[in-house]
Structures are given as structure tokens and as C-alpha cells.
Structure 1
Amino acid sequence: MFLEKIVNVRREKVIKAQKKIPFGEMRKMAEEQVSHRLPLSLSQALLTEKAKRKVGIIAEIKKASPSKGLLREQFDPVAIARGYAKSGAVAISVLTEEDYFLGSPDHLRAVRTVVSLPLLRKDFIIDPYQIYEAKVLGADAVLLIAALLEKEEIKEMINITESLGLEALVEAHNLTEAEKALAAGARLIGINNRDLRTFVTDINVSLELASFLKEAGVVMVSESGIKNKEEIKALMVAGYHGVLIGETLVKASDPGQALEVLLA
């Protein structure tokens, strides 16, 4: 199963990373960053756009995906980030997972130097070490996937995230996972329209969970498989504060221009 495979790979990567920079050292570096740079709030950015009746798009930078393979041959994360910022992205999501998405922590570090938007570290986070690392790389938010973590683990990771001035976007794919995210204290919840077990995408997943999330009073994001303005409008009408779009943008010849079209 894909999820089990990727979790095992990430565990190995974390062990290797800690041999280079031990846990205590990474935590110290992250804690020092707290006073050096004020983080940018992803939640606030989304709420501000919603208040203006505008679409909040978190534009994603990724080179490949396990379901579609290579998405973009001419891949320049910095150029893509600049295009997104210029075209009106509310935030940028950067894939840092190396094996299946051909991402890199270096992509996040490089993007941080050229944009002043909130940055989301998109990865399969299974260890607090990765959260401290995200802070050091310049992230403002991290993705936590409810399917990979127990409720208590999510709770602990949210606490670490918030202690660093970051936010956790807790991702769910169904009601059970959304309830788990809420019970763990999530205030920013992303609904992944893609089933990570089958890779099938369906935006009805987000639409069906909208009323539950609205009632919970959380900031709501719909992720994956969103291709056009009609789908974005349906999600915003349902109560979502923002949408995360990757594949549709990075497959375009000019990702920034593709974003402009969706926002027009």
C-alpha cells in the first residue's frame, strides 16, 4: 500500500537526517528562528481573502506525483514561486518529499528567499523532527495527514507547530479523519479530494464534508483534483476559505498565467 510504503521511506529519511543534524540541534535551530522571523499566518491570509469575497488559492510547487508521474520537465521552483506571487496566490505549498514527488527541502528554502507569502511544507510528516526542520527551512505552516497519525500524535504535533509560531493544516479525506483532526485540536483543516489509497479524486468529498466543517467553525481548505473556476466557485459557495491547486498549474506552460486565469 502506498501510504505504508511512503511512511517507511520517510522514517528512514528522518533517521538519516538526524545523523547529519541531531534532533536536539535541529530543535535549537528552529527555536532560534522564532525570534528571527515573524511567521506569516496561512489561516489569516485565507480569512482575509474570504472576507473580500475573493478566492484564496494556495498554489503548489511540485515536479511529480505518484499517481501521474513527472508533471513538469523544466522545473524551476523559484521561477514558479515568483509567477504565483505575481499572479495573486494567497500562499504557496512546496513539496519537500524526494522519492515520489521529486521534491526537496532545498526547494522550500529557495522559495522562502524570493516570496513574502505564507509557505506550507507539504510532506508526509510522521516525526516532530520534520516540523523543527520546516521552521528552519522557512515554512509558515506544515501539513499533517490524519490518515498517517493517531489523534494524540496530531495533538502533540500541533502543539510543537504552534510553539514555533507555525500553523498545522490537518488533512482529512473522510468524516472519521475530519472528526479525528477536530478532536486533536485542529483549527485549519484541509479536505483531500484524492483518496491516498486509490488516487481517485472527486471534489464531492469536499462538498459533502462542508457543512460538518462549517459547524465546527474551522478554517476550511479543499485540496486536489480542482481544475476550473466552476469547481472553485462551488467550493467557495459551500463555505471553503481556500483551495489548494497543484497539478493543474504546474502542468501549464506558464503556471503563473494559469493561476491568473483561475482567479480572473
Structure 2
Amino acid sequence: MNILDKIVRDKRKEVSLKKSLISISQYEQSELFNRGANSLAESLRNSNSGIIAEHKRRSPSKSTINQNTNVGQVAKGYENARVCGMSVLTDIKYFGGSLEDLILARACVKMPLLRKEFIIDEYQIVEAKAHGADVILLIAAILSNAEIKNFSKLAKSLNLDVLLEVHNEEELNKSIMPSLDMLGVNNRNLKTFGVDLKTSKDLSQLIPDEFVKVSESGISSIEAIQDLKQYGYQGFLIGENFMKTTNPGKSAAEFIQKLN
């Protein structure tokens, strides 16, 4: 069993327990549930940098990235750096994140927030909306075509943007549908955790132009972004490069200044 299989197995147990404790109707009463749309896709289309900055304490590939951050301070720093949006890891067991991180980030900033999670149930989409997310991530590697269709339609009905993540041509071909806003190519192989930007380049021509193209993982240099822009990418998800520093917001600001 690879790491992705383990994460999904544990996620199913986690979601099952949550559903027994908090109902969807309770989430629908949340003060944040009726927030209007705050589109990350539009932010990326109108940006020169295209940076989506991430808050990530640890990961299965790197046990510790930065355990000493305050997510609210990081969010403010990223917003001051003029990133297009912020990705917030909410998986506890493998990434050290939580829904409380999402709530705190939402309380501190107005920019689009992406709930970075392994979504395997519609319940998690309602949960994301109730905790202040503007965008959800769907991972093609763990979902069927029918699930991607149903989940993305539900998200759109809740005024959430949808970023669909793929790793290869097979996942891309099964996933393209009108209810998506952005197509992300993850350069990290979730089974081996190796990283290769060639993955984004190879898949770029297969992504229809109506979707915002996002490249994810392994992006750490200005040159990499300039190179990927030539392949039509408008979004660049950067996590470890900023989070491994003592001041992620300052690191993002310096990076964007150089990029522009």
C-alpha cells in the first residue's frame, strides 16, 4: 500500500467519524456559509505572478517543514506579498494541518483561500464552505469520473472554485468537464514523491484553454516559473520554498518582487 492509499484509507475513517458528530445542516448554519464567491481562477487570470502560496507544517516526504508558524501571521504576510491566493493544508495526520487553520486564515485575510485536502466525500465540500474556503481541491488519482462530476457541481452550487489535480494523461482525460475552473498538474508523483517539472510541460497542450492551468510542486525558482509560463501556466502553487524560511510572507514578497 503506497502513501496515497494510506491517506485515503485514514481519510475515510476520519470523515465517517465526523459525519456522526456534526451534521451537514449544522454546517449550513455557519456564519461563513453564505459568503459570496471569491474566485482564485479570476485572481490568477489577472495576475502577473500567479503565485498561490501554501501553509504547510510537514508532509510525508519531509517530516518537518516548519512547525513554528502562526497561520494567521503567515496569511497576513502572504496577502501583503500580493499572492493570488493561499492554500491551507487541513489534513492533521500526515500534514499537521486543521480546519482551525482555515478558520484563522479566513479571519485574517480577504484573499481567496484553497482548502488543501484529500476530498473523498461531499460532506468535506460543505465543511470547507462552512470554514471559510473559497476553493476546493479535487484529486483525480483518488476519484472516479462520476465523483469528480458530482463533487465539482456541488462546489459550484456553493460558490466555490474547483481546482482539479492530475498527475498524468489518463487522469486528465477522465477529468475534463465544464464544472471545473482550474486544472492543476502535480509534478510530484504521489506514490514515490519524486518531482519533475516535465510533467507540467508534457500535459500543458492537453489542457483546454478555457481552464486556468496551474503547476504544483517542485517550483522553487524564478526561472522555473518563467519557463512554465511559456507552456500556458497562469498559476504556480508554492509551499515548501516559502514555508521552510523563518518568515514565509517576507520570502514570498521577495520572490514576487524578483519575478515581476
| Alpha-carbon distance between aligned partners in 2 of 1:87 and 1:3, rounded to the nearest angstrom | 32
> Are 1:39 and 2:33 counterparts?
no
1:212 to 190, 203, 206: 206
- Over the matched positions of the two proteins, sequence identity in percent amounts to 40
> Are 1:257 and 2:250 counterparts?
yes
> Are 1:48 and 2:49 counterparts?
no
1:184/1:200 CA distance change after superposition, 3 Å? farther
Residue of structure 2 in register with 1:235 after alignment: 228
> Are 1:29 and 2:22 counterparts?
no
| Alpha-carbon distance between aligned partners in 2 of 1:37 and 1:166, rounded to the nearest angstrom | 10
Q: Contact 1:187 / 1:219 at 8 angstroms: preserved in 2?
A: yes
Residue of structure 1 in register with 2:238 after alignment: 245
| Alpha-carbon distance between aligned partners in 2 of 1:187 and 1:39, rounded to the nearest angstrom | 13
| Alpha-carbon distance between aligned partners in 2 of 1:208 and 1:168, rounded to the nearest angstrom | 22
Residue of structure 2 in register with 1:155 after alignment: 149
| Alpha-carbon distance between aligned partners in 1 of 2:32 and 2:62, rounded to the nearest angstrom | 36
After superposing on structure 2, the runs of 4+ consecutive aligned residues of structure 1 that deviate more than 6 Å are none
1:24 Cα deviation from its structure 2 partner: 4.0
**Deviation string for 1:233-259 (max 9, x for gaps)?**
111121101100001110012111211
1:78 to 56, 72, 91: 72
SS across alignment from 2:29: helix
| Alpha-carbon distance between aligned partners in 1 of 2:213 and 2:105, rounded to the nearest angstrom | 25
1:41/1:184 CA distance change after superposition, 3 Å? closer
1:25 Cα deviation from its structure 2 partner: 3.3
| Alpha-carbon distance between aligned partners in 1 of 2:178 and 2:16, rounded to the nearest angstrom | 26
Q: How many pairs align?
A: 256
**Deviation string for 1:199-222 (max 9, x for gaps)?**
001111111111111x45311100
**Deviation string for 1:11-37 (max 9, x for gaps)?**
1111111122123433x336x855x32
SS across alignment from 2:205: helix
Q: Which moved more, 1:179-188 or 1:156-165?
A: 179-188
Q: Contact 2:161 / 2:180 at 8 angstroms: preserved in 1?
A: no
1:80/1:198 CA distance change after superposition, 3 Å? same
Residue of structure 2 in register with 1:8 after alignment: 9
Residue of structure 1 in register with 2:19 after alignment: 18
Q: CA RMSD in A?
A: 1.4
| Alpha-carbon distance between aligned partners in 2 of 1:42 and 1:113, rounded to the nearest angstrom | 18
2:108 to 102, 107, 114: 114
Structure 1 unmatched runs, 5+: none
Structure 2 unmatched runs, 5+: none
1:118 partner amino acid: P
| Alpha-carbon distance between aligned partners in 1 of 2:25 and 2:171, rounded to the nearest angstrom | 31
| Alpha-carbon distance between aligned partners in 2 of 1:190 and 1:233, rounded to the nearest angstrom | 17
Q: Contact 1:181 / 1:189 at 8 angstroms: preserved in 2?
A: no
1:99 to 93, 105, 109: 93
Where do residues 152-191 of structure 1 align in structure 2 (5 Å cutoff)? Answer: 152-183=146-177, 185-191=179-185
| Alpha-carbon distance between aligned partners in 2 of 1:202 and 1:259, rounded to the nearest angstrom | 22
2:217 partner amino acid: S
TM-score (norm 1): 0.93
| Alpha-carbon distance between aligned partners in 2 of 1:135 and 1:117, rounded to the nearest angstrom | 15
